[in-house]
Amino acid sequence: MLPIFQLMTSIHSSSLASASFQNKLTFLMGDNNKDIFNSDDTHETTNDFVNLMSSNSFFPLISKPTRITSSSVTLIDNIFTNIFEFKMVFGILSADLTDHLPIFQITNLEPLRNARIMPRNFCLTNSRNIENFQAKLAAIN
């Protein structure tokens, strides 16, 4: 992994974990320069990025290409959120302003009628908890 990417991953990981742990309603949007279509084992940095986001309960709203050229189709612009109990409208605008298609998201911050807001559960990952988990796994026959 590239050193700058390691630094950014560390910063993102800390910020995402804090937002999730504190139940902060969060939207992260922009040009991530990580083609989500390549989030498999063949592209390590993209795979790490997608895993980092999903392990902190952040999921992408956009699932179609946001950059289309004569030689490639990529999904590098996205909106990630940890909010699912509110009515949202999101998508891609068809505009020929740049080589990227604009993305948008509108959220009504009043909870959906009859929607139960579920408490969010998180696992604090630290060396003590990892050791306890490993000990419990070793104790299983």
pLDDT digits (tens, 9 = 90+) for 63-91: 999 998 889 899 989 999 888 878 889 99
**Number of domains comprising the chain:** 1
The pLDDT of residue 7: 54
SS3 label, residue 100: strand
The pLDDT of residue 9: 63
Low-confidence ranges of the chain (pLDDT < 70): 1-12, 19-22, 41, 111-124, 141
Domain, as residue range, for 69: 3-139
User: What is residue 2's DSSP assignment?
Assistant: -
Nearest to 58 by CA among 92, 19, 31, 91: 19
Helix residue spans in the chain (DSSP H): 3-21, 44-55, 127-139
Which residues have C-beta within 8 Å of that of residue 80, sequence separation ≥ 6? Answer: 27, 28, 29, 53, 58, 59, 60, 61
The pLDDT of residue 105: 93
The pLDDT of residue 32: 79
As to burial, measured by CB atoms within 10 angstroms (0-12 exposed, 13-18 middle, 19+ buried), residue 45 is: middle
The pLDDT of residue 82: 86
The pLDDT of residue 62: 93
